[in-house]
Amino acid sequence: MKMHHTKSQTGFTLLELIISAFIGLTLMAAATSMFRQANYVLFVVTQRAETQQNMRAGIELMTKDLSMAGAGLPSGGLQLPTSGGSSKIACSTQSGTCYITGDVYPTGNFMYGIIPGYNNGVQNGPITAAPSAVNDSVTSIYCDYNFPLNNFTFTFPSSTQATVAVVNAAATPNNILAPGGLNVGDLLLFIVSSPGNGTGNQGTSSVQTGVAVADITGIPNNTTIDFASGDILNLNQSGASSLASLIAGLGGGATMTVCRLYAVTYFIQVPPAGGTIQTPRLMRQVNALNAVPVADNIINLQLSYDVINSITGTVNANESNPVAAGLSPALIRKVNLWVMGQGLISGNNRSQSMYLASSVSARNMSFCNSLSDSTTQCQ
């Protein structure tokens, strides 16, 4: 009788199972680590891209304003009235208090095309968490040519009010309240010129005899502008260099040039504890209008200036505080920007910080010529 034998079935030993499990867990751990690393790299790249894009938007807007600094202003700037104290630069229309401390014009209330604000660039004066405790502000002042006022005539029934009439309605909107026109809080620059004694290439020359800046406090109708005293920026004062003194000195044959003046200030706003705004941001304010955010998560703003030394005739490069160094802001030739940003998402304390740097030529500021006798002539 034939016997049937079953074949033995071989299997895994315990040792083999342990080795296989170990290899599998090692592969899974490696894959998990690679996945986490890929997510982290993606997080870093995204944060850096967003931060760089945010800073670039702020720098581009600052570049536009700074490149126009001094346009339309008298060469070397102009004296503001001082009978009622110093004028302000960047103040809030809501409460009348200034956004940043010590926000006044330098060197005896003098308006230049560029106003440096060394270590004065944080709202209410706190210091942001940045590698340097220095945070600057900067103000760029220039005429706005988008709504030209050379087609209007200005007469003054009083020192606090102007009556406006259009010269050629076909060429310009026939009222100052047209779209893009004047608003309460706008600044107007008045330049009075009288006929000169000599003649130039364009005919009879004229001599500038007076300059004043006034803050619009009311526009009752499309032909009337008010410049009441007590304005937030403290520009509508009496005494020398004021609109009142300019009007009083108007003589026969004098002509008046008027432009809307933009005083654009950049600074950093730090949110109060428990507020709705959670991150520092770069702010932009024009005249006495409300400041608006330009870029979020800007934690540091530093500026330096290349300034012509009127004594030596050379350029002092990278001056962080030209006023304290005895240099005139009217002779600034270039503004160097340094902006530091932080990632918009904290990511468990893994936020990315980086900075961008740029330079802006101040093409409309005073011109200086080095003479052969080692002296400098500026105009």
pLDDT tens figures, 133-147: 789 999 999 999 888
Which region among 18-27, 60-69, 325-334 has the lowest average model confidence (pLDDT)?
A: 18-27
Of the pLDDT bands very low, low, confident and very high (cuts 50, 70, 90), residue 127 is low
Nearest by Cα to 116 from 124, 126, 107: 107
Between 321 and 130, residue with greater pLDDT: 321
Structure tokens at 222: 């499309």
Which is it for the CA torsion 106, 107, 109, 115, positive or negative?
A: negative
The answer to whether residue 375 scores a pLDDT higher than 80 is: no
Between 116 and 102, residue with greater pLDDT: 116
Structure tokens at 235: 């520009």
**Residue 227: Cβ within 10 Å count:** 23
Nearest by Cα to 153 from 143, 164, 138, 142: 164
- What's the confidence (pLDDT) of residue 370? 52
In the chain, % of residues over pLDDT 70: 81
Structure tokens at 309: 């030394």
Residue type, 317: A
Nearest by Cα to 250 from 204, 215, 212, 202: 212
10 Å CB burial of residue 142 (0-12, 13-18, 19+) is buried
10 Å CB burial of residue 95 (0-12, 13-18, 19+) is exposed
Nearest by Cα to 258 from 291, 292, 217, 212: 212
Q: Tell me whether strands 137-144 and 114-117 are parallel, antiparallel or unpaired.
A: antiparallel
CA gap 45, 354 in Å, rounded: 12
Between 208 and 370, residue with greater pLDDT: 208
Residue 139 phi, psi dihedral angles, 5° rounding: -125, 130
- What's the confidence (pLDDT) of residue 183? 92
Mean pLDDT, rounded, for 57-65: 94
Instruction: With H, G, I as helix, E, B as strand and everything else as coil, classify residue 327.
Output: coil
Contact between 291 and 85 (Cβ < 8 Å): no
Name the percent of the chain in helix, strand, coil, to the closest 5: 20, 35, 45
- What's the confidence (pLDDT) of residue 132? 64
Query: Which residue matches tokens 């526009």?
Result: 219
Mean pLDDT, rounded, for 36-55: 74
Of the pLDDT bands very low, low, confident and very high (cuts 50, 70, 90), residue 170 is low
The answer to whether residue 220 scores a pLDDT higher than 90 is: yes
Between 111 and 16, residue with greater pLDDT: 111
CA gap 257, 210 in Å, rounded: 11
Q: Where are the domains of the chain?
A: 49-378
Q: 314-368 pLDDT, tens per residue?
A: 889 999 999 999 999 999 999 999 999 887 665 555 667 888 999 999 988 876 6
Which region among 92-101, 230-239, 258-267, 358-367 has the lowest average model confidence (pLDDT)?
A: 92-101
CA gap 346, 356 in Å, rounded: 20
Contact between 327 and 319 (Cβ < 8 Å): yes
Nearest by Cα to 99 from 122, 131, 65: 122
- What's the confidence (pLDDT) of residue 184? 92
Which region among 12-16, 145-149, 242-246, 321-325 has the lowest average model confidence (pLDDT)?
A: 12-16
Measure Cα distances from 141 to 105, 111, 145, 189, 364 in Å.
12, 8, 13, 11, 11
Torsion, CA 32, CA 35, CA 41, CA 43, rounded to 10: -100
Instruction: With H, G, I as helix, E, B as strand and everything else as coil, classify residue 314.
Output: coil
CA gap 7, 162 in Å, rounded: 115
Mean pLDDT, rounded, for 117-130: 78
Q: How many residues does the chain have?
A: 379
Mean pLDDT, rounded, for 258-287: 84
CA angle, corner 198, sides to 192 and 202, nearest 5?
Answer: 75
Mean pLDDT, rounded, for 116-122: 91
Q: What is the DSSP letter of 330?
A: G
Which is it for the CA torsion 358, 363, 365, 369, positive or negative?
A: positive
- What's the confidence (pLDDT) of residue 24? 83
Q: What is the DSSP letter of 100?
A: S
Structure tokens at 90: 């960047």
